[in-house]
Structure 1
């Protein structure tokens, strides 16, 4: 919703101010289709040249994050801590029983209680791979933490690709606007024998290209890139929480301490209170009983 409001404010302020200053839309509307064809088409072509098909699909999908915002919220962090609590407690009490949940999370009675987390393949794989490694005696906390850090960094770098692609497009749009404007001036110079009122309209149409390139860059595409990056970095906290809890588990801290480590590492605006989490864990114990 905030994304739509932002776009509406941009258009209202820019074009509202133009109209309030006595501007007329005639020249802009007449030139807009041609300028948009040149600038938008060139920007799209450059985007396709500099990215493969997987990156193109990834970027188009991530544009939705501008309007949807982060994937993980307060309740999701609480659920994740409850899920990890159940898995760690079971793995310590009965490692063989825990293997059934780790090897087949889609059929696990524990994972299926948290469908949103189960639907995220990376979160599930991160949990299961780490706990499986611990069951195979690869349980050096420092080595596991280093492996998880590299994995999270690689995933984070991949997730940010769409933001980088959009920012690259935003950086190129002003220059493409100048290209369109120069072509408009060339067209105007070919009609230099026309009356001043006609030349004025032609020069105005050429300047629409410069305006459009700058407006699209700093008013739309650039903010889109910044928002996608902010959402990706916000969601990354969810996976870092998994790392913190599972590494604390490898240090053989009590289960409740492992979960508290995770709670303390949750972003403040999503962090469940100590009492809220205690109540949720009690409810989890009752369901498991």
Structure 2
């Protein structure tokens, strides 16, 4: 919704100011299809040449993510903390035997299935399960565990950012591609140098539409969407840091509820549950924990 409002403001102000100052829109509209074909085709072609097919596909999904925004909402963070509490409490009470079945089949787990939106993030679920499983096989050094988790988070984050880097590179190249389209327009104009001044003026104006489009698309569309995707990826990566904080605190011997409180402080301030909200959610989880682990 917010993205649409921003684009509407851009189009209204750019073309509105042009018309207000006495600009002739028919020149822009006449040149627009040809220049857009040249610039858009060259940009898409260069994008395909410079990226792997997987990155190209992820970039399409990335544009959708940029419009939809971060998938993690306030309740999702509370659910994640409650899920981590239930898993760590089960592990502390019953050891590896009690938690193994939940880690091996999260989609069938009575604990995981209480939080379907968290369960839907299979990368995060795999991350949590893998490192809790390491703890069940006596991975006793919390520092080594923390280092392994940091490396895993960094690798995942790097992969998630691949389409964002590709889109940003496209945005950086669009002004130059616009100049290429404009030069072609100038070449065409020079081939009609014997035409009247009015005709040459319109042709030169049409050629300059290429430069205009390249800059407009770079700084008012593709660039902002790439920046928005970066923000979304950064936001959606925070649950990994929260999970890591809770697991490491537990591995260092902190009481389960203390480990979860430490993790709560890693939650983005705009989405973090209050101490009382989390305590209420944990009390409910404690009541459900016995039948879940029975």
What TM-score do you get using the length of structure 1 for normalisation? 0.98
Q: CA deviation at 1:15?
A: 0.8
Gaps of 5+ in 2: none
Gaps of 5+ in 1: none
What are the Cα deviations for residues 148-193 of structure 1, in whole angstroms up to 9, with x where unaligned?
0000001111111111101100111100110111110110011100
Q: In 1, Cα distance between the equivalents of 2:85 and 2:288?
A: 13
- Is the aligned partner of 1:149 residue 2:150? yes
What are the Cα deviations for residues 54-95 of structure 1, in whole angstroms up to 9, with x where unaligned?
101101001012211111111111000000000000111112
Q: In 2, Cα distance between the equivalents of 1:184 and 1:165?
A: 28
1:262 matched residue in structure 2: 263
Question: Secondary structure of the equivalent of 1:168?
Answer: helix
Q: In 1, Cα distance between the equivalents of 2:182 and 2:114?
A: 58
2:119 matched residue in structure 1: 118
2:42 matched residue in structure 1: 42
1:226 matched residue in structure 2: 227
Q: In 2, Cα distance between the equivalents of 1:186 and 1:265?
A: 58
Question: Secondary structure of the equivalent of 1:82?
Answer: helix
Runs of 4+ in 1 over 3 A off after TM superposition: none
Does the 8 Å contact 1:133/1:139 carry over to 2?
Answer: no
Does the 8 Å contact 1:183/1:206 carry over to 2?
Answer: yes
- Is the aligned partner of 1:69 residue 2:57? no
Q: CA deviation at 1:288?
A: 2.8
What TM-score do you get using the length of structure 2 for normalisation? 0.97
What are the Cα deviations for residues 190-228 of structure 1, in whole angstroms up to 9, with x where unaligned?
110000000011001000000000000001000011000
RMSD of aligned residue pairs (Cα, Å): 0.8
What are the Cα deviations for residues 103-134 of structure 1, in whole angstroms up to 9, with x where unaligned?
11111000000011111111111111011000
Q: In 2, Cα distance between the equivalents of 1:274 and 1:116?
A: 22
- Is the aligned partner of 1:176 residue 2:213? no
Q: CA deviation at 1:242?
A: 0.5
Q: CA deviation at 1:233?
A: 0.7
Question: Secondary structure of the equivalent of 2:273?
Answer: coil
Q: CA deviation at 1:287?
A: 2.5
Q: In 1, Cα distance between the equivalents of 2:269 and 2:162?
A: 27
- Is the aligned partner of 1:29 residue 2:39? no
What are the Cα deviations for residues 216-245 of structure 1, in whole angstroms up to 9, with x where unaligned?
000100001100001111111111100000
Does the 8 Å contact 1:263/1:271 carry over to 2?
Answer: yes
Count residues in correspondence: 289
Q: CA deviation at 1:139?
A: 2.5
Does the 8 Å contact 1:69/1:231 carry over to 2?
Answer: yes
Q: In 2, Cα distance between the equivalents of 1:140 and 1:3?
A: 46
Q: In 1, Cα distance between the equivalents of 2:24 and 2:75?
A: 50
Q: In 1, Cα distance between the equivalents of 2:254 and 2:284?
A: 22
- Is the aligned partner of 1:162 residue 2:160? no
Q: CA deviation at 1:267?
A: 1.1
2:2 matched residue in structure 1: 2
Question: Secondary structure of the equivalent of 1:249?
Answer: helix
1:238 matched residue in structure 2: 239
Q: In 2, Cα distance between the equivalents of 1:216 and 1:279?
A: 49
Does the 8 Å contact 1:83/1:114 carry over to 2?
Answer: yes
Q: In 1, Cα distance between the equivalents of 2:131 and 2:35?
A: 53
Q: In 2, Cα distance between the equivalents of 1:56 and 1:168?
A: 13
